[in-house]
Structure 1
Amino acid sequence: MPLETLPRPATRLTEAQISSLVNIIRRAARTEILPRFRNLTEGQVSTKSGPADLVTAADTGAEAMIARAISRLFPGAVVLGEEGAAGNPDLRKTAAKAELAFIVDPVDGTWNFAHGLPLFGVILAATRFGKPIFGMLYDPITDDWIFASKDGPALQSEMGRPNRTLSTSAGGALPGLSGIAHLSYMPEADRRALAPLGAEVARLGSLRCSCHEYRLLAQGAVDFVLSATLNPWDHAAGVLICERAGGVARFLDGRDYDTGVTEGYLLSAPDEATWQALRDRIAPALGL
């Protein structure tokens, strides 16, 4: 039987619903993801948009399992998975307009996963009309998850231990910042324009895994994340968790995050002053 439905209007998930979602993600990882880690056969890995854009049997198996379970718990909710969106692009628009949608990245960091690197995760977000109301960043290797609701703190949870409240870093001036920028996914002109930024901050890199990049941001281990690829399965959960950890996440043009936005640059930072300093450096370089 499904859990209680969300009150109208749907603004938050109950603790029981969140607990059920956590269990769904953990079961999918144990059943569909971890048994295939470093155990993929040639026929279980294929490409999508290019040679570095991989999909594995773990991605499709986990997404199918998670989608079925969520649909049973929340009848009528839209479920948008990364692999489902590849076959039905209109599903993304449907989810952005839905009163309640669940957005799933079943194996975020598939390239890492397929190459045997233990740096991948599962991302789950719940949205209301394109705005995140719940986010979860799960690490199958350590079996711990960072999560937040729109009206609560960002928490890190692990079985058998009390939840730990997370806070973003202290931020500061550019020379002292460490950040993540997905330069390889940007147009060539923008890559060239932003290349000098790497010499102006303390450290600039990428993990090829939004799940762990946003986890580091919420834990205060990095100071910012900049992305030009606005897939909601990569960002909806992380943006909410960043904000509930005390940070700021907006598009460079100042708009608040919305899963319906498909073009532009998304910048997440630990506080308003740091966000503005980064924006003032990055936006002019991009001609914005």
Structure 2
Amino acid sequence: MKPTIDVARLAELLREAAKAEIMPRFRNLSDGDIREKTSATDLVTEADEAAERFIARECRSLLPEALFVGEESVAADASLLDRLDAADLAVVVDPIDGTANFAAGVPLFAVMMAIVSRGETVAGLIYDPLGDDCMLAEKGAGARRRLSSGEEFPLATAAHVPLSEAVGCISYTYFPDELKKAVLPRLSGVKIAGNYRCAGHEYRLLASGGSQFAIYSKLMPWDHLPGVLITQEAGGHVGKIDGSPYTPLDREGTLIAAGSEESWHAAREGLFPRA
């Protein structure tokens, strides 16, 4: 039996965390509030850590039986990822997706959450602190945009168009060098190919019909579980480039999320060399 999840309350929780811990620090960070993790483009700020603590504390009250897996928690204790794989119920959180944008004062970042039950994503949420709205989905119940007023509107992905007319987002930073060399020249066949440095907003664009595809590697769960479910529930198609489904157990590989199965195949066949 799937757990009963109050996604509206979870959406409000993300909003509360953003208002309390994220927005007061936006464009108000000192040098000591920003630190590198693995590189100059992989950052953590005081806002990330404070927002994650806020969300974790509230989740202990809302879902006391759930394992909490936050991006910053895993940075401190990598074994949490192994526990996620076996958890009956888990909350997976990215307190600020797009930290590099946030740290640079760029208004393009999001707060992301997924609920995972026995290896299956059953709920996903992506909150935009600046737009003050949340895109959310429950497994089998469709995807919707929830305003701060509580009003909700259904989401739908875009119809297929030829790759030459398509809009896509591609994050190729972690592509192997040979794959990067093979794929990048092929982007000339796409009408618009961009990179927001924020998967949350790229998934929001895809789920609301603003693009035909998004492509990623380095498949950390907090970056993709919410957006994949929202895309699928809005009518899209998601899979790794070998055609296999993406699951919460995946950490590596290349992922294509698309507005339709036809758009998925167009991106796969048009951008990636055949094995």
**1:231/1:262 contact within 8 Å kept:** yes
Corresponding position of 1:20 = 9
Q: Does structure 1 residue 122 correspond to structure 2 residue 120?
A: no
Q: Does structure 1 residue 212 correspond to structure 2 residue 208?
A: no
Deviation, structure 1 residue 186: 1.6
Q: Does structure 1 residue 224 correspond to structure 2 residue 213?
A: yes
Select 1:142's aligned residue among 123, 131, 145. Answer: 131
* Cα distance in 1 for residues equivalent to 2:211 and 2:4: 29
Percent sequence identity is 39
* Cα distance in 2 for residues equivalent to 1:12 and 1:207: 34
Select 1:168's aligned residue among 133, 157, 164. Answer: 157
Corresponding position of 1:42 = 31
Select 2:251's aligned residue among 245, 262, 280. Answer: 262
Deviation, structure 1 residue 72: 1.8
SS of alignment partner, residue 195 of structure 1: helix
Deviation, structure 1 residue 46: 0.2
TM-score (normalised: structure 1): 0.92
* Cα distance in 2 for residues equivalent to 1:182 and 1:147: 23
SS of alignment partner, residue 48 of structure 1: strand
Corresponding position of 1:3 = none
* Cα distance in 2 for residues equivalent to 1:93 and 1:220: 35
Deviation, structure 1 residue 216: 0.1
Note the 1:11-90 alignment, pairs <5 A: 11-14=2-5, 17-90=6-79
Corresponding position of 1:4 = none
Deviation, structure 1 residue 12: 4.6
* Cα distance in 2 for residues equivalent to 1:103 and 1:282: 31
**1:123/1:237 contact within 8 Å kept:** yes
Select 2:82's aligned residue among 68, 93, 113. Answer: 93
* Cα distance in 1 for residues equivalent to 2:86 and 2:136: 23
C-alpha RMSD over aligned residues: 1.3
Deviation string, structure 1 residues 54-107 (Cα, Å, up to 9, x no partner): 100000000011011112211221111001111111211211221211110000
**1:12/1:150 contact within 8 Å kept:** no
**1:113/1:119 contact within 8 Å kept:** yes
**1:12/1:149 contact within 8 Å kept:** no
Deviation string, structure 1 residues 5-43 (Cα, Å, up to 9, x no partner): xxxx3x2534xx222212211111011100000000111
Number of aligned residue pairs: give it: 275
* Cα distance in 2 for residues equivalent to 1:240 and 1:36: 30
Deviation, structure 1 residue 251: 1.2
**1:144/1:157 contact within 8 Å kept:** yes
Q: Which amino acid aligns with 2:96?
A: V
Deviation string, structure 1 residues 114-173 (Cα, Å, up to 9, x no partner): 000110010011012232110001000121000010021210111236311111011222
SS of alignment partner, residue 230 of structure 1: coil
**2:220/2:250 contact within 8 Å kept:** no
Deviation string, structure 1 residues 227-250 (Cα, Å, up to 9, x no partner): 011011010000000001100011
**2:7/2:136 contact within 8 Å kept:** no
Corresponding position of 1:5 = none
Corresponding position of 1:133 = 122
Corresponding position of 2:229 = 240
Deviation, structure 1 residue 208: 0.2
Deviation, structure 1 residue 281: 3.0
Select 1:192's aligned residue among 181, 189, 200. Answer: 181
Gaps of 5+ in 2: none
**1:242/1:248 contact within 8 Å kept:** yes
**1:138/1:144 contact within 8 Å kept:** yes
SS of alignment partner, residue 173 of structure 2: helix
Corresponding position of 1:6 = none
TM-score (normalised: structure 2): 0.96
* Cα distance in 2 for residues equivalent to 1:145 and 1:152: 16
